[in-house]
Structure 1
Amino acid sequence: MGRRVKVVCIHAYVAACERAMRHPESEAIVSELYYAALSGVSWDRAAQRLQAVTSRPVTVALRVVGADGRELIAGQAGLPGEALIEYRDYYASINPYTPVLADLPSRRPATVRDLGFDLVHLSETEFNKDFLTRYDVGPAGVGMKMVDGGDGFMVLGVNYDDSHSPSLDPLFKSLCLELSEHIAHAVTIAEQQVVDARRSGAMATLSTLPTPALVLNERGRVIGSNRPAEELLASGVVLVDRNRRLRSRVPTVDDELTHAVDHAMPPHRRTAILRVPDFGTTGDVIVSIVPLPDDPSGPTHWSQLLEDRFPVAIAYLSRDMRPAAIVEHLRGLYELDVVEARAAYAIYCGLTLSQFAADEGLNLYEASLLQDRVLQRFGAHRNADIARRVGVVAHLTGPASLSVQHPGDKG
């Protein structure tokens, strides 16, 4: 018992010593750099605070690092505008990875898409082995690795201008070591909050849908599903493999499904609708993959780009129900005539305009006018919105019989 008390006292004493050794500006600087990493509004203030404790010029920069050995400075503060070229040349002389300077007047962290930077998988590259630690202190300052990802990572770097002094100020070095640990922890928490907020919103939407639906991340992997989707997946017509990807047991359809998922992912972001045939007795499955729109009012956090759990699309799954019953439901719900209802059902089935025109005996111009009229009737702007609403009606109508009828046939 006495030994346990003694050990606890020693730990408390060590913790007290560590707190006493912290620089008084540490918490304030951490706060500034934390907000700089989130939105880019604190670059200048962070640089000024760091410069105040070192009495020498300091540059705060956010860098995008790729597996091809290139490093791109996305934003920086702490140096006057006329010194940017000088800094670029100096930084290039100490950095073996050929940096490229991006001049962004808004002083915000740029996204990978803003910079047109091609990130490659890093996990097995020699380049990645140089960045296995959270921070790296050298003669030029400290680089704090904030985000790991399968495609790359980003570094928030604090560069100490040592052009006039070959050695790093000991005070600044110890401060950087302390800051790097604080910032890494703070940004990890912020990153998780941002991702959880978006994911929770998507999952809340799914839980209210009567139709089966899945959430996909930027790599096309399934990261969430509602109960109807789990019940449909259990039938095996559409399945999720070990890599959490949507698959089909029919090879040709499997390729089409993979292509459809890729088509809905960035940078394409286009709705894809296809039919997955079921050779059993429960009816085919219609898969509608709809990209989630970017939220301009949401937080602009660069870590979202590399976060494996960040939702970017929803895949709606529905059985091919009794067409005549669906058409009748649509006519009653949306006050459509029979031709308009069949047009809406054709959009849901993924028929092209030419296919629908041929089925109905219309020319392309007449079919196009009819499709525009259907959009107005639904109060929609995209075919994907119609497909989603018809899918809900189809789910509520009940499973299809073995002899699937044409929408124009009598049920």
Structure 2
Amino acid sequence: MNIDEADQSELIGYLLASVVEESNLQSFTDKLVSLCDDRIVVALRRIDVLTKCEDVAGFSGIDADSIDSFVNYYASRNAYQEPLTRIPLNAPQFALAHVDRRAIAKSEIYNDWKRPLGLGIGGLAINVARSGRYVLSASIEMSDALEEAAGRGFEALLGRLAPHLATLADLNGKAWAKGVSAALDTSATGALLVSHVGRVIHMNEAAERLLWITGLNVDAKGKLCGATPEADGTVQAVLGDVLAGRSAARTVRVKDLGYLGDIHLTASRLPEGARRPAIWSLAPQDEPAAVIYLAPDHERARTVVPRVRAVYGLSEDEAFMAFFLYCGTRLEDITKITGQHPYEAQLLIDRVMKKMDAARYADVVRRVGRVAASV
């Protein structure tokens, strides 16, 4: 395959244009196939090393039915996949240098998919980007005879294109990050972006901090969960209502035993226009469907405390102490937050109860609760 400067410029142009319109990646693979006099198959794939599934960004040189059978069946049974996802980045590799030829000769993908298409037992691939879960791989499949005669030329070609493919992956990731996730990243409130099945696909730093110190967590399946059956039931019910379209948004109070107090969780459905990230990127592939906002009771203090001060004539320290009592914060945790000695904290509590005409802590909780409900 001989590619002149004009052909290479056209190929790179397709890659850059795909940042705006992803279908240009198919034009890229079509162009590569058209430049070869012999039959080759060119694919740009995103491989999920956990599920073994593969998403296709561009696939040319075979018919649509063969592509569908690969994506929907053979990709998850691909005997080449595991060894080839481990090859170094930006280094074109021949498949037979990493797999057992005898095992491949007996494999389903070779006998039922590659061989009927006239493709050889080998092939050539290059990995251009990798995360903990995904690998972006470009590959060229050909007959055994063509690989023997022209394999080194294809190897050099993939080597020249690799930097441009890596740049595209980076651009696509940044383009997505500047979209819906960027708004979350600038928020001081904990926020998580979830897919239509409730899987967390992005969270900001504030949310990461809250998950570290509260009873909420993201489980092995990527779902937001509560630490207790009651808390988890609340989270799943609210998120289920919003994702199913029964509510545009819902806010609930999730009981939490940590020193930050209970968590106020708001789930809000995103507009349908929130777009899915490009396949040729290391961004999560789930379409964003909703945002979950997390605000512990102590964050709500910013709005509730000024009102408590105004209603009951408390000092700022006294109003914060009343709010701590409302949140159910233990005395030892209050002293950690405020830096006070336990004796000083108790004296402050006594002043609060006197000014609020409260005989018991429960009276303080009830009075602050009425104020909190109005803001």
TM-score for the superposition, normalised by structure 1? 0.46
